[in-house]
Amino acid sequence: MKRSILIILAVLVADQALKFWVKTEFFLGESIPLFGQGQDWAYLQFVENKGMAFGLEFGGEAGKMALTIFRMVALVGIGYLLWKAVQEKRSTALTVSLSLVFAGALGNIIDSACYGIIFDASTPFQKAVLFPPDGGYAPFLHGAVVDMFYFPVLHGHFPQWLPIWGGEEYEFFRPVFNIADAAISVGIVMVILVQRHEDKRSSKEQAPVPPEAGTGSV
């Protein structure tokens, strides 16, 4: 359990520290090269996400409330699975992966639940202030998630002969994300890989053992 707590705390501290810094030091939409000038494939770019992970929107203010509540319910479920995995002494890989998912989900919930209360609005012309005297920019559960990692590694145009998308611009990777999103994604991939590994091992253990060939006498 100590390992899981340390992972959760490490992800949360890193996630929230970076979000606080970006929120208070960047104008909305501002970006800087992550690895110096001339490196146009990686940026820190301040955007605010009112919907799901990786900048996806979801149903306006009512959808925002529903999504935040869903995140909280899911967090309880993930926490239970993590607790159960620890109690049953499941593999380290499984507890680490569930810890990452839990930490990432909690990191984004903190934004949604609290940032609207403790920060004023960020704009392209004004940086946010922590604990503004006139109050925050949104009520409880209606805050926006702070995203900042932007990796447009590949960009160009689809060939003209391609059906539907011919000539249109493409970019990979377009969504902007944060440490919490990354922790969730890595954790989910790890859970899938661990589950597949355990399923294969279980199948091998349950496979019938062929009888040994008998020895005949002449």
76: tokens are 């309880």
- Count of beta carbons in the 10 Å neighbourhood of residue 73: 10
185: tokens are 């994604």
How far apart (Å, rounded) are the C-alpha atoms in residues 18 and 11? Answer: 11
Respond yes or no: is residue 134 known to be catalytic.
Answer: no
DSSP 118-132: HB---BTTB---BS-
Size of the chain in residues: 218
- Count of beta carbons in the 10 Å neighbourhood of residue 61: 11
Residue type present at position 168? E
Identified catalytic residue from 15, 111, 120, 181: 181
- Count of beta carbons in the 10 Å neighbourhood of residue 179: 23
Q: Which residues contact 148 (CB under 8 A, 6 or more apart)?
A: 18, 19, 22, 26, 44, 45, 46, 47, 176, 178
Respond yes or no: is residue 40 known to be catalytic.
Answer: no
Identified catalytic residue from 15, 40, 147, 199: 147
List active site positions. Answer: 147, 181
